[in-house]
Structure 1
């Protein structure tokens, strides 16, 4: 992260976001190899937790910055059927110079369905894109070298 910004100038403990969604078939366990049908899949719930965390952070950062995922520790505690409404709440509970920790809570009409902690790093967008470009360039060089070896 660029040393020029201080997270506390843009974010604060308790800052939060909430989003609600109706569980659709594309969100269901049917899309995975398992024995359960028509239930909210854990990966989709985690996706929604990530979306809520981004909503709690990114709109408040300077334009050149964004948050990226570092880690998640999440427990999916109860099943949710198709057609039920899920609400996910993300709240900032801690910050360092470079990252933000959020508490995640999720529930449907019947009560809690999940909770956990999510950590996001605050990064300069340009730096991340440059690093990705460099990694891609190195991969292409390695692949080209392997093709040359194969021709010998």
Structure 2
């Protein structure tokens, strides 16, 4: 991992809620509102933006844990802003605090843990997992 990553660094993304972000199961929309699954995706993505400039060519980030609270609904065509703040950095473990807002206020918050590993290590872990699944 390259030098320079520091506690307090932030990243943000902004987007408009679209139908592909609605809460749905097995292809059926449950309600026309921003889903928790989409919120997790956006919180992971904004957290990843923090680590990207610091990855070496042989490294990649891998999700370690996500913990969120989805506290308010957001409907189609509503603007959402998601922010990640680096709150903990231990060796190859990066933890961010995440928050999501719409025009009315806070709609969700949580934490995302990422682990920086060599691409070789990740490939080995995946291959080991496949072998176990095949047995």
Query: Shared fold (TM-score greater than 0.5)?
Result: yes
Q: How does 1:63-142 map to 2 (within 5 A)?
A: 63-140=57-134, 142=135
Q: Distance in 1 between matches of 2:78 and 2:132?
A: 46
SS in 1 for 2:73: coil
SS in 1 for 2:57: coil
2:35 maps to which of 37, 41, 45: 41
- Distance change (3 Å), C-alpha of 1:54 and 1:35: closer
Other-structure match for 1:18: 12
Larger % of strand: which?
2
Structure 1 residues not aligned, in runs of 5+: 143-152
Q: Distance in 2 between matches of 1:120 and 1:18?
A: 17
Q: Distance in 1 between matches of 2:123 and 2:15?
A: 31
The count of residues paired between Structure 1 and Structure 2 equals: 134
Which is greater in Rg?
1
Instruction: Tell me if the contact between 2:22 and 2:29 (Cα under 8 Å) persists in the aligned partners.
Output: no
Larger mean Cα displacement after TM superposition, 120-129 or 131-140: 131-140
RMSD value, Cα: 2.0
Structure 2 residues not aligned, in runs of 5+: none
C-alpha displacement of 1:17? 1.0
C-alpha displacement of 1:10? 3.8
1:32 maps to which of 21, 25, 35: 25
- Distance change (3 Å), C-alpha of 1:25 and 1:131: same
**Does 2:44 match 1:50?**
yes
Larger % of helix: which?
1
C-alpha displacement of 1:105? 0.7
Other-structure match for 1:61: 55
